């Protein structure tokens, strides 16, 4: 028995499949700008007596878009009480597609404390892949070393 599928059913199936493909394609979040909070630790505490372990920290901002630059217009460092310690930019910095910029805090810089953080503000003229922002902390003392990372958290979409 040879049955023909009505054209309206074929059309409906085609529309559903195309919508599903569009839904999967739009799963990659895009943005034109954000304010991002990144935790950073100038020291942590270890052992039963809470010995202070000093750390160097690097803030890494990575443009994950393959076609468009992003512009970072504010990189502000705050201490554990939420007080501004320093502003790292005097003018906006453009990051090329797939480019990276970094900012460092020396191990000897104790101003931030164990609850320090960066607030980064960026924007783009186009909707772009959301950049990766993370801090990398590392320290060595005697024959012990420690390193860990912290990913940024979006606070506000522009």
How far apart are alpha carbons 67 and 158 in whole angstroms? 20
Give the range of the structural domain holding residue 101, as residue numbers without chain letter: 29-157
Q: Supply the pLDDT for residue 69.
A: 98
Task: Let me know if residue 82 belongs to a domain.
Answer: yes
Q: Supply the pLDDT for residue 56.
A: 95
Max CA distance (Å), the chain: 83
Number of folded domains in the chain? 1
The domain that holds 47 is classified in CATH as 2.60.290.11
Task: Let me know if residue 101 belongs to a domain.
Answer: yes
| Residue environment code for 41-67, b if the CB has 16+ CB neighbours within 10 A, otherwise e | bbbbeeeeeeeebbbbbebbbbbebee
**pLDDT tens, per residue, the chain with 158 residues:** 566 666 665 566 666 666 665 555 558 899 999 999 999 999 888 888 888 889 999 999 999 999 999 999 999 999 999 999 999 999 999 999 999 999 999 999 989 999 999 999 999 999 999 999 999 999 988 888 889 999 999 999 98
Q: Supply the pLDDT for residue 51.
A: 86
């Amino acid at each position: 028995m040879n049955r023909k599928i009505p054209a309206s059913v074929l059309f409906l199936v085609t529309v559903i499949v195309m919508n599903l493909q569009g839904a999967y394609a739009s799963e990659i979040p895009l943005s034109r700008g954000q304010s991002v909070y990144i935790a950073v630790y100038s020291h942590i505490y270890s052992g039963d007596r809470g010995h202070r372990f000093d750390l160097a920290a690097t803030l890494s901002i990575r443009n994950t878009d393959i076609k468009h630059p992003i512009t970072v217009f504010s990189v502000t460092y705050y201490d554990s009480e939420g007080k501004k310690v320093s502003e790292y930019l005097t003018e906006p910095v453009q990051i090329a597609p797939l480019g990276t910029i970094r900012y460092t805090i020396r191990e000897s810089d104790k101003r931030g404390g164990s609850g320090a953080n960066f607030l980064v503000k960026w924007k783009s003229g186009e909707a772009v892949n959301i950049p990766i922002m993370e801090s990398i902390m590392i320290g060595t003392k005697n024959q012990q070393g420690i390193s860990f990372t912290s990913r940024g958290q979006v606070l506000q979409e522009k």
